[in-house]
Amino acid sequence: MLSFYLSLKKSAYYAFPVILTMSSFLFNGLAHAQNKADVREVPALKSIFDQYGVKGTILISDPVKNELLGFNPSRWDSGYLPASTFKIVNSLIGLETGVIDTATIFTWDGKKRRISAWDRDLTLTGAFRVSCVPCYQELARKIGVERMKNWVGKLQYGHMLITQQTLDLFWLEGDSRITPREQVNFLRRLYEERLPLSSKVMKQVKSIMVDEKTEKYTISGKTGWSIRNGNNYGWFVGYLETNGRVYFVATLIEPIFQEQISDFSMARKTITKEAFKMLGLIP
């Protein structure tokens, strides 16, 4: 009888953490369901994509209305390489770890590259704005595998596969993935300074993200362009500040005809702005 009692007590002991875990899971799931944003698809936005000969999706988050709106929501939870949108994260980690600061100069190595704007010494802001791949590859190597993996995990940034072999390429090639919804959620946590980083670092990166500033609105963000198995796709991720409100956005586009990409580079931001205009968010 004693052995049966001890066996029962032992079983209950090991079961208790499981019960707690399941309870936490159910509670978190319920909280998530209660806070789930409304989704509103705007079919008219398709005309903007058609105008530029691309297909894709746009997700705009309105925190005040707790609403997600845009086009083609079936792709909001599909994963893609982050491409150069990862420069936001790379900058944050580099600054937080002290590997770089805002006065850092990326010294040109003298090698000619496909984009002439990279062939010069660049500040951090300059490297970000011309999307200098070799500059940020150098930064990733200085951060190192373990610190990069640790910080990407802390920042809850998609699903990045970081090894010694992929350290300076994982956001451009391979099986790393992030979804439009994850991009938007990350940007909101950055904007609201809810990332596990110093407020100073988050403010510094938000400053270099400013892309367009007018009397009526400010658009901040980063483009990205990936070529995977011969297929091009591009990002614009960021946020719009206007009339005391902020809207977070992730736009992903692909050329309908992969061989026709002459206007593809500009289309990422242009489509985003045209969507804002169609929705009445900017003039």
pLDDT digits (tens, 9 = 90+) for 87-103: 999 999 999 999 999 99
Residue 212, token pair as written in the block: 């367009």
pLDDT at 19: 34
Domains and CATH numbers, the chain: 39-278 (3.40.710.10)
**pTM (2 d.p.):** 0.87
> What dihedral do alpha carbons 177, 202, 209, 212 form, nearest 10°?
130
133-143 helix and 87-97 helix, angle to the nearest 10 degrees? 40
Q: Is the pLDDT of residue 104 over 90?
A: yes
Q: pLDDT (tens digit, 9 = 90+) per residue, 108-155?
A: 999 999 999 999 999 999 999 999 999 999 999 999 999 999 999 999
Q: Is the pLDDT of residue 164 over 90?
A: yes
pLDDT > 70 fraction of the chain, expressed in percent and rounded: 87
CA distance 41 to 37: 13
Give the residue from 119, 146, 142, 140 showing the smallest Cα distance to 130: 119
What is the DSSP code (8-state) at residue 37? P
CA distance 49 to 268: 10
Q: Is the pLDDT of residue 8 over 50?
A: no
3-state SS class at 38? strand
pLDDT at 33: 39
CA distance 81 to 252: 11
**Average pLDDT score over residue span 213-226:** 97
Q: Is the pLDDT of residue 6 over 80?
A: no
pLDDT at 35: 56
Sequence-ordered list of residues with C-beta below 8 angstroms from that of 256, at least 6 positions apart, any chain: 53, 54, 55
State which amino acid sits at residue 113.
R
Name the burial class of residue 270, with classes exposed (0-12), middle (13-18) and buried (19+) by CB atoms within 10 angstroms of its CB. middle
Sequence-ordered list of residues with C-beta below 8 angstroms from that of 184, at least 6 positions apart, any chain: 59, 61, 68, 237, 248, 249, 250
pLDDT at 9: 37
CA distance 99 to 95: 6
User: Which positions are annotated as active-site residues?
Assistant: 84
Q: Is the pLDDT of residue 177 over 50?
A: yes
pLDDT at 264: 78
CB 99 within 8 A of CB 112: no
Lowest-pLDDT range of 12-26, 98-112, 261-275: 12-26
**Average pLDDT score over residue span 68-94:** 98
Q: pLDDT (tens digit, 9 = 90+) per residue, 185-204?
A: 999 999 999 999 999 999 99
Q: Is the pLDDT of residue 267 over 90?
A: yes
CA distance 278 to 283: 9
CB 164 within 8 A of CB 149: no
Lowest-pLDDT range of 21-30, 187-196, 213-222: 21-30
pLDDT > 90 fraction of the chain, expressed in percent and rounded: 81
